[in-house]
Amino acid sequence: MRILSWDIETSPIIAPVWGLWQNDIYYEHVLCNWHIICASAKWLGEDEVISIHPFNQRSCKVTFSNDWHNDYFLVARIHQLLSEADVLVAHNGDRFDLKKFNARALFHGFDPIPPIPSIDTLKVAKKHFKFDSNRLDYLGEFLGLGRKMSTPKGLWLDAIRGEEYSLHNPSTKRIKEITKKQKKAIKIMSEYCDEDVRLLEKVYLRLRPYMTNHPNRNIFNDDDIDICPSCGSEGLIKRGFAVSRTGKKQRYKCSDCATWCSAKKSIKNINIR
């Protein structure tokens, strides 16, 4: 089972506003729509974080162009990675990352990715715990796993050449200065996204024993022996029985990840007819 932790960073929508509070913007007034600035992904069990941004030719296989809001090649690389996964892990991924990605994939004419099970650590935190906050940064600090990377003020605007919108016909020299600042900002954002994915994986592993709907690794196991459905370990310790109205199964606790599970085969079945 290949498990992929992933995260994307998107640009803000640029639009004129007439106040600082509760503005309704008509879509025809949008000066520049949002796009994906960068993304990061990490395969569970591997050290490398895959950084996807316009200046990383290794990951995107494309050089940066003046069309700085064209995220076609980023979307193509993300689409390829997600399609290779058996399980996707993200924080607020079901509501944000996956829907945002689907919107850009549809815009560029990509086919849908395969139906892949998704684990949203935000949903897990809300369902099984009562934390003071469910933000990834708080969970990382609360669990002693680290925190998100801090970023300088105005980074997002620098990453989309925000200064261009405050200048009238900027000179070629000024455009080069803005582009240089943008390149630096995107690289910082990519590092920020990379750290998010590393922290996400740590949080996922800590929350995993509580996930009652985690995809079952036994599905990928062709042997008759029982393995932990969450981490795939064979270190299962017998801990009583799981009893239902129709039968009884051996109950186990994983010695590696502390997940509780039951045997695939029943010890005793009851005919309730």
Sheet of 118-120: strand order equals 50-52, 36-43, 3-10, 87-90, 118-120
Longest dimension (CA), the chain: 84
β pairing state of 118-120 and 87-90: parallel
Distance CA 230, CA 210 (A): 10
Q: What is the pTM of this model?
A: 0.85
Residue 89 in this model has a pLDDT that exceeds 70: yes
What fold does the segment set 3-210 form as a domain?
Answer: Nucleotidyltransferase; domain 5 (3.30.420)
Higher pLDDT, 268 or 93: 93
What's the rounded mean pLDDT across residues 5-9?
Answer: 97
Quote the tokens at residue 197.
């994915």
pLDDT tens, 111-153? 999 999 999 999 999 999 999 999 999 999 999 999 999 998 9
Q: What is the pLDDT of residue 57?
A: 56
pLDDT tens, 261-273? 888 778 766 655 5
- What are the backbone angles phi and psi of residue 116, rounded to the nearest 5°? -115, 130
Domain range summary for the chain, segments of one domain joined by + = 3-210, 217-269
pLDDT tens, 169-190? 777 787 778 778 888 999 999 9
Distance CA 181, CA 175 (A): 10
CA dihedral 171, 176, 179, 185 (to 10 degrees): -120
Quote the tokens at residue 122.
């935000």
pLDDT band at 59 (very low <50, low <70, confident <90, very high): low
Distance CA 11, CA 159 (A): 8
Q: What is the pLDDT of residue 96?
A: 97
List the end-to-end C-alpha distance of the chain, in Å, as a whole number. Answer: 38
